[in-house]
Chain A
Amino acid sequence: MDNLASLLDGFATVVTPMNLLIALLGVTIGTAVGVLPGIGPAMTVALLLPVTYGMEPAQAFIMFAGIFYGGMYGGSTTSILLNTPGESSSVITAIEGNRMARAGRAAQALATAAIGSFIAGTIGTLLLVLVAPPVVAFAVSLGAPDYFALMLLSFVAVTAVLGASRVRGFASLLIGLVIGIVGIDAVSGQQRLTFGVPLLADGIDVVVVAVGIFAVGEALWIAAHLRRRAAEVIGVGRPWMGRQDWKRSWKPWLRGTAYGFPFGALPAGGAEIPTFLSYATEKKLSKHPEEFGRGAIEGVAGPEAANNASAAGTLVPMLAIGLPTNATAAVMLAAFQQYGIQPGPLLFERESALVWTLIASLFVGNLLLLVLNLPLAPAWARLLRIPRPYLYAGILFFASMGAYAVNAQPFDLFLLLTLGLIGFGMRRFGLPILPLIVGVILGPRAELQGRRALQLSGGELHGLVGGWVSWLIYAVIAVVLLWPLLGRFVVRPLRGRLVTG
């Protein structure tokens, strides 16, 4: 019950007036950026990283946790009222939610999304409390070769499993790894890819990369593609649900949570797959299958619970092993490093107070979000009236200020613009952003672990293979990489034989 005591200590830290205020600020910003399509929690955390330098690490992470969960809540409001998903994980919500809104049931759709998110977020965070310590206990026993394998798996998973095209995923990952390599090699002291520019010798700051790719890239993309078409927003009263709605919602909430959490915790889970699965399940189990496609409340309740539970699940590998599985977690890991905190299995031991404060703030933030979203959804929808030029001008201002604040060097602004152009180009050619960010953040750490393993073995390649864990991981990587071939030569003939035989 050591963990419970730590969690209670965490709560004690969170409920001080100042920290509660910061949590409130975090969830408010989070909801706002969730409501606005194109501006996600990952971009926001990156933009706010430099702003939080003056804060205690605990306070900064209370705010980031609020933004992380808030983004999930806000996304559903936009999906339901505008039929434009605010976040990729609320695509499914847009299908049924918008139909409900058009049928005059916007209030019920918003309510089931908010309450479902709250329940899933709370259960998910509880599961995080239960699951993370055993994972840490296991992770501590791993050696450098195992970590190297784990990080390779993470690279392969975010590139090959998520996203539509493997080639584009790997291209994006390689750009990220190259950016991560720039600077002086920690082992040999050699300069790598610095082109003789002394300012590059320290490497490119992760904050500059994240802000450039997310914020500047997106702003340039919007500027180039400003579609002059405004949509109508559907009016709502105060969100609430009738008895019947509760009856039809509570099972989808729980099932959605059950899908979301494990998928979030897996290195390649993400929030999209469980929302799809949840939707399909609810459609199959529903007593009102004829309503699906025309505004079924189950089709909002399930996927919304799933995406919030997966947000909680994402924190398991992030906190316990130091592996990011989505963009926001990746930027939060960068934030840990900015504060000089080494992410990894020792995090729970060395920064126990910080971690448990972060987890406690998730519970508090979730409650604040329910209070903030249930009565105020129509007010949030008004944010959509802000003209985009104003919005993106503000983002560019914050981005430049943040990038400059990191080292107070004008050179970083050039880097920011260059990275922004790379981000723009990636959006233009459909390259996913996540592999790049994971590459930049995890690349140097993977290199460190890999070289450590090689140093221990005196440069022999067998040093990269440790115990059974690394064998298992390499096997999984091989399966993931060879899956298209396996699908063609093994699975399909087998299936054919089963059908004909």
Chain B
Amino acid sequence: MTVLVGYVPSPLGEVALAAAVEQARFRDEPVLVVNTSRGDAYVDPRLAPEADLDRVVRELTAAGVPHSVRQLIRGRDAAEEIVEIAETEDVSLVVIGIRHRSPVGKLIMGSTAQQVLLDAPCPVLAVKAR
């Protein structure tokens, strides 16, 4: 069994990662860090730069949690990718960060968090940035 965390390079991503590490220790399971981008814009702030991922790996190693990191750029939404991994692999818990969206923003862009919460086959832990 694995704890899957949806990671983005922002304070939100960091709290999600911290929560995932805590859960992994508690359950004695490895962490799978997933960072995705549709990759169809010239720039995507949600795509973690290499330096960021290196730091995540260092932190996880220092924390002594077994881990793996996956970066996916294949033109699909973050929610689709996370739900698919949760469905096909042995995932016990999905950890995501959530935030306020304006009604209009939600109408236009949809909500990744909502899609994960409703579609994932396993329990989902949603954390907020302070």
CB-CB under 8 A from B99, the residues of chain A are none
A385 in contact with B45 (CB, 8 Å): yes
Structural contact, A230 and B39, CB atoms closer than 8 A: yes
Assembly CA distance A381 to B45 (angstroms): 12
In the complex, are the beta carbons of A389 and B40 less than 8 A apart?
Answer: yes
Query: Would you call A287 an interface residue if the criterion is a C-beta within 8 Å of the partner chain's C-beta atoms?
Result: no
A232 within 8 A of B: yes
Chain A residue, CB-CB nearest to B42: A384
Chain B residues lying within 8 Å of A226, measured Cβ to Cβ, are: 40, 75
By the criterion CB–CB under 8 Å, are A232 and B47 in contact? yes
Q: Is the CB of B43 within 8 A of A385?
A: yes
Q: Is B49 an interface residue (CB 8 A)?
A: yes
- Decide if A388 touches B42 in the complex (CB within 8 Å): yes
- Inside 8 A of B75's CB, which chain A residues have their CB? 226, 228
CB pair A230–B74 under 8 Å, yes or no, is no
Contact, CB under 8 Å: B39 / A233:
no
User: Does B44 make an interface contact (CB < 8 A)?
Assistant: yes
User: Chain B at the A interface: mostly helix, strand, loop or mixed?
Assistant: loop
Interface residue ranges, B against A (CB under 8 Å): 37-45, 47, 49, 73-75
A232–B49 contact, CB under 8 A? yes
Cβ of A387: which chain B residues have Cβ within 8 Å of it? 38, 40-41
Identity of the chain B residue whose Cβ is nearest the Cβ of A229 in the assembled complex: B39
Number of A-B residue pairs, CB cutoff 8 Å, is 49
Is A191 interfacial (CB-CB < 8 Å)? no
| Given A230-B39, A232-B47, 20 additional A-B pairs, CB 8 A | A37-B42, A82-B42, A82-B43, A227-B39, A228-B40, A228-B75, A229-B73, A230-B41, A230-B44, A230-B47, A232-B49, A384-B41, A384-B43, A385-B41, A385-B44, A385-B45, A387-B38, A388-B41, A388-B42, A389-B40
B43: which A residues are within 8 A, CB to CB? 82, 230-233, 381, 384-385
A386 in the interface (beta carbon within 8 A):
yes
| 22 residue pairs A–B, Cβ–Cβ below 8 Å | A37-B42, A82-B43, A228-B38, A228-B74, A228-B75, A229-B73, A230-B40, A230-B41, A231-B42, A232-B43, A232-B47, A232-B49, A233-B43, A381-B43, A384-B41, A384-B42, A384-B43, A385-B41, A385-B44, A386-B41, A387-B41, A388-B40
A98 to chain B, nearest CB (A): 14
Q: Does A28 contact B (CB under 8 A)?
A: no
- Looking at the assembled complex, report how far the CB atom of B74 sits from the nearest CB atom of chain A, in whole angstroms: 6
A36 within 8 A of partner (CB): yes
Which B residues lie within 8 Å of A389 (CB)?
Answer: 40
Tell me, rounded to whole Å, the shortest Cβ–Cβ distance linking B54 to chain A: 14
Could you tell me how many residues of chain A have their Cβ less than 8 Å away from some Cβ of chain B?
19
In the bound complex, CA of A386 to CA of B40 (Å): 8
B49 close to A230 (CB less than 8 A):
no
A84–B42 alpha-carbon span in the complex (Å) = 9
Chain A residues with CB under 8 Å of B47's CB are: 230, 232
Chain B contacts for A228, CB-based, 8 A: 38-40, 73-75
Q: Which residues of A contact B74 (CB under 8 A)?
A: 228
Residues of B within 8 A of A36 (CB): 42
Chain B residue numbers with a CB within 8 Å of A84 are 42
A230 to B43: give the CA distance in the assembly, Å.
Answer: 5
From residue 382 to 406 of chain A, which have CB atoms closer than 8 A to chain B? 384-389
Shortest CB-to-CB span from A387 to chain B, Å, is: 5
Residue on B nearest A228 in the bound complex, by CB: B39
Least Cβ–Cβ distance between A245 and chain B, in angstroms: 26
Residues of B within 8 A of A233 (CB): 43, 45
Residues from chain A with a CB closer than 8 A to the CB of B38 are: 228, 387
Whole-angstrom CA separation of A179 from B54 in the bound complex: 55
Contacts of A229 in B (CB 8 A): 39, 73
Q: Which residues of B are found within 8 Å of A82, using beta-carbon distances?
A: 42-43
How far is A16 from B9 in the complex, measured between Cα atoms in Å? Answer: 48
Q: Which B residues are in CB contact (< 8 Å) with A384? A: 41-43
Cα distance, A389 to B76, chains bound together (Å): 13
Contacts of B39 in A (CB 8 A): 227-230
Encode A204-234 as 1/0 by CB contact (under 8 A) with B.
0000000000000000000000111111110
Give B72's nearest chain A residue, CB to CB. Answer: A228
Shortest CB-to-CB span from B33 to chain A, Å, is 18
For B75, give the chain A residue with the smallest CB separation: A228
Q: How far is the CB of A34 from chain B (nearest CB, A)?
A: 13
Chain B residues with CB under 8 A of A232: 43, 47, 49
List residues of A (348-387) whose CB comes within 8 Å of B's CBs. Answer: 381, 384-387
* Residue of A82, A227, A230 with most chain B CB atoms under a 10 A cut-off: A230
CA distance A229 to B73 in the complex (A): 7
